[in-house]
Amino acid sequence: MDDWDLLQSSQEGGKAYEEIVGKHYQSAFLFARQILGDDHRAEDVVQKAFVNIYVARDRMERRAKFRTFLFRVVTNLALNELKRKKPHPSLSEVHPDQDGGIGSSFSDPSTKSPQAHLESQELGQMIDAALQKLPPKHRAALYLREYQQLTYARIAEVLEASMNEVKIWIHRGRSALQENLKPYLDRGESIS
């Protein structure tokens, strides 16, 4: 059974729905966190997305892959959340050692040197901070391209945008990220 079939066959508290959530929760959470910059808000958005999908399961049409549809729902809810609550967490609230964070993806657990490990953690924090300075749609497009390896067409579908908009967002996001990281990489300055 594919995800849509599981969704249609799921009943309240059923194993089929638990399977769908288990399969897609982590990637949806990481995606929402990239848009929102906050673990708690991302968790709330993802839970709301799964609830909304479950409640409306009988009215849904299979126009796209389930994961693409889920990411579209998460995107819309996350952008609504950003409009509702503007503040982002400070750098002191970013925990580079959390599983799945961008910062942790740059850590090399086989590194024996404590200094190298700390430098890797610091780089991860700076990348997280630089990413948070990007507009939400740029962060979302970059995340879907770089971490989910979605095609431009699939990203356009998820973000409900044209392919040209997606290409522009990714290009501008990469350029801004590079510019935001420049003071840190050139002079070791913190990103504020």
Q: Quick one: pLDDT at residue 100?
A: 45
Q: Pick out the chain residues at pLDDT < 50.
A: 87-109, 111
Q: What is the DSSP letter of 58?
A: G
Contacts 24+ apart (CB under 8 A), 80-86: 81/36, 81/41, 81/44, 81/45, 82/35, 82/36, 82/136, 85/41
Residues carrying CATH 1.10.10.10, the chain? 113-192
Residues carrying CATH 1.10.1740.10, the chain? 1-86
Instruction: Kindly report, residue by residue over 80-119, the tens digit of the pLDDT.
Output: 888 776 544 443 344 444 444 444 444 444 545 777 767 7
CA-CA distances (angstroms) from residue 110 to 33, 113, 116, 187?
27, 9, 10, 27
Give the CATH architecture of domain 1-86. Orthogonal Bundle (1.10)
Q: Quick one: pLDDT at residue 13?
A: 56
Q: Quick one: pLDDT at residue 169?
A: 92
The mean predicted confidence, pLDDT, of the chain is: 78
Q: Quick one: pLDDT at residue 183?
A: 80
Q: What are phi and psi of 95, to 5 degrees?
A: -110, 105
Q: Quick one: pLDDT at residue 180?
A: 84
Q: What's the pTM value of the predicted model, to 2 decimals?
A: 0.59
CATH placement of domain 113-192: 1.10.10.10
